[in-house]
A and B are shown apart, each in its own frame.
Chain A
Amino acid sequence: MKVTKLALLFGLTAAVPTLSHAGTLEDVMKEGVLKCGVSTGIPGFSAADSNGEWKGLDVDFCKSVASAVLGDASKVKYFPLTAKERFTALQSGEIDVLARATTWTATRDASLGLNFAGVNYYDGQGFLVSKSIGVNSAKELDGATFCIQAGTTTELNLTDYFKANGMEYKAVTYDTSGQTIDGFKKGRCDAVTSDRSQLAGLRIKLDDPKSAILLPETISKEPLGPVVRQGDDAWFNVIRWTMFATIEAEELGVSSSNVDEMLKSSINPGIKRLLGSTGKTGEDLGLKNDWAYQIVKQVGNYAESYDLNVGKDSPIQIERSLNKLWNQGGIMYPMPIR
């Protein structure tokens, strides 16, 4: 340990230490508050509203964990983190879980001493095109002009996609994402490309959002999910199953509005197991048996959270596409709770 510290002192930051911090679950229960790392403002995922309350899909995930562990969705302390700080904050124990639209990659998983507990949002690179060019699919974009931010992976993905489909594009290159969008606004190009969740937010900022559409194709994989420290399996399980419980609740049709009724009268064994009236999954996880009931009651199931924050009931209106349940054409597949 000492050697690592010295190495760090002398700037050899590549050697990030694996700091296991066993017993996070006990710590959270003892302190009575969950320390959740969020972003410093990503629309729909974690952002503050006019009353200074944190809102968003990732924020709802923090609340779900607090509901499951502490039985109270409000017992969360939010730690707004920049992209650079996020992993250190987790490694150093400043936060218990990181829910900050973080892409799961092999390098991060393997070299940072962290574990990704799953995927709560499948993002990917998409296309925002001006309606005037009359295109409904990315396959029809041959010869289109793109506003592109120079030197990003988005640019590489775009080149790959067009090569693979035997198409060509003209590029107008910009330095920052702001300029890129400005270029699109001013009509210097037919389309822009970026992560779909970002494009949805950018579309709202256009003078007339209806003048542009988000094409259905996704050309790269950006699986976003909660992250915990490596080496604390009990806590890892709690985070992973909290995520599955919200999706499972949607699959079983349990929502915050009908959960009490379901608890009383449902004869579906799956629902009974989820809500803890039979079985003891909660105890096995080190929680109370009504953990999933608390999540659904206080925060809602995945669909409720999605629609409210990024989906059809929110201003940014992102299609669920990949994030639909597995039996409805998406790839959200909760492992069975039994």
Chain B
Amino acid sequence: MATYTMKEAKPAPTANKGIIFWLKENLFPDVKSSLFTLFGLYVIYSIVPPLLDWMIFNATWSGTQDEVVNSGARWIFIIEKFDQFMYGFYPESLHWRPNLVAIISIVFVFSFKYIKNLKVKIAGILLFPVVCFVLISGGWFGLEVVETEKWGGLMLTILVAAVGIIASFPIGVVLALGRQSNMPILRTLCIGFIEFVRGVPLITILFMASVLLPLFFHDGIEFNKLLRALIGITLFQAAYIAEVVRGGLQAIPKGQYEASEALGLSYWQGMILIILPQALKISIPNLVGSFISLFKDTTLVLIIGLFDILAMVTLTNSDTNWLGYEVEGYVFVTMIYWVCCFSMSQYSKSIERKFNTEH
């Protein structure tokens, strides 16, 4: 009786393994792809080495302006003006306050996912902005008051974006619900607001807030410029959020709405317990997309004379002792923006994974 003996598997032919094979398979499988690979390599070769030379190898990292001999970036400018890029005109002795806010925010954002108790969550959401505001602006608990005119740099960029994101979200959700409401007046108002705001550029709203509004309030009432800008940005963002959330609401099958009614839930109960959690979950990618674009749009506040981090480049470059460092400034700001936006998109991915209930 013949017995079956297992044969040792032979190793793959040498032509089908190893780095050479991988290169051949992925980069040079045919003439067209090979040409494209070579072209890609050429582009990388012509961009990356000069960039690295400029940014790192030939750069000047320390010393004074007179000692600059290298042809690359003069990062001494960024080092000299670093505090202004970060905090604007915020008094140096009080820099610990925005720093503390930054730490609290990071801790808050990362621990939020792990808080299970809903009441603690809501308390956190409500308390967090108050704590941050008190710390930054001062005036309570013996903290020295720092007027909004002194806020600037990255601190202001993040602050404007954060307020825009946090405040616009509930307004946007309410607008989205209003737009789908059965009450004709409410629905018309919501549609009117959303379509009006989406029909004008952010820059118009900011100009309106900074140039036109003060003329209405000129007698005695002083309306802070930053506050005006924040209100403008929040309303603007709310209209976009509303449309994103509406998309989510419409994607929920009608059966879910009917089921919540069949259970005897009121409108709000049904919305909060059944519809919104599902609708918001599927809206996360779009929501984050619009938050990221808001973060970048905040830089428009420079046209109304607020010094966000980009405006700081112009301002620091008009210091007669430091003229002609725009390129370094812009490159630095670009990197900051990239880091911030990339972090936001990574954070959103982690939230999506957490809420993923599909199997």
- A interface list, Cβ under 8 A from B: 5, 8, 13, 17, 19, 21, 40-44, 47-52, 55, 77-82, 84-85, 88-89, 91-94, 201, 204-205, 309-310, 314-316
Contacts and interface: CB of A to CB of B under 8 A. Distances in A.
28 contacts: A5-B216, A8-B215, A19-B218, A40-B302, A43-B319, A47-B315, A47-B319, A50-B84, A50-B319, A51-B92, A52-B84, A52-B89, A52-B92, A77-B149, A80-B305, A81-B305, A82-B304, A82-B305, A85-B211, A89-B214, A91-B218, A92-B214, A201-B320, A204-B320, A204-B324, A205-B323, A205-B324, A315-B321
B222 interface: yes
B320 A316 contact: yes
B323 A201 contact: yes
Contact of B149 (A51, A55, A78, A84): A78
Contact of A47 (B83, B303, B311, B320): B320
Interface of B: 80-81, 83-84, 88-89, 92, 147, 149, 207, 210-212, 214-219, 222, 225, 302-305, 307, 311, 314-324
Q: Which of B147, B212, B303, B319 has the most CB of A within 10 A?
A: B319
B314 A48 contact: no
Contact of A49 (B216, B302, B319): B319
Q: Which of B83, B212, B319, B320 has the most CB of A within 10 A?
A: B320
A94 B311 contact: no
A48 B83 CA distance: 12
**For chain B, what secondary structure do more than half of its interface residues adopt (helix, strand, loop), or is it mixed?**
helix
B81 A50 contact: yes
Contacts of A81: 305
Contacts of B81: 50
Nearest to A51: B92
Nearest to A309: B320
A84 B207 contact: yes
Given A50-B80, A92-B214, A201-B320, 7 more contacts: A13-B212, A21-B218, A49-B321, A50-B319, A55-B319, A82-B303, A88-B212
A59 to B, nearest CB: 12
Contacts, number: 106
A309 B318 CA distance: 12
Contact of A88 (B88, B214, B320, B324): B214
Contacts of A50: 80-81, 84, 319, 321-322
Q: Which of B207, B218, B317 has the most CB of A within 10 A?
A: B218
Contacts of A8: 212, 215-216
Contacts of B317: 41
A310 B321 CA distance: 11
A117 to B, nearest CB: 21
Contact of A315 (B219, B303, B320): B320
A50 B319 CA distance: 8
Given A81-B305, A92-B214, A43 B320 contact: yes
Given A84-B207, A205-B323, A93 B218 contact: yes
A91 B215 contact: yes
Given A47-B315, A48-B316, A204-B323, A80 B307 contact: yes
B208 to A, nearest CB: 10
Contact of A48 (B147, B211, B315, B323): B315
B155 to A, nearest CB: 13
Nearest to B80: A50
Given A82-B304, A84-B207, A88-B211, A41 B318 contact: yes
A11 B199 CA distance: 16
A287 B80 CA distance: 41
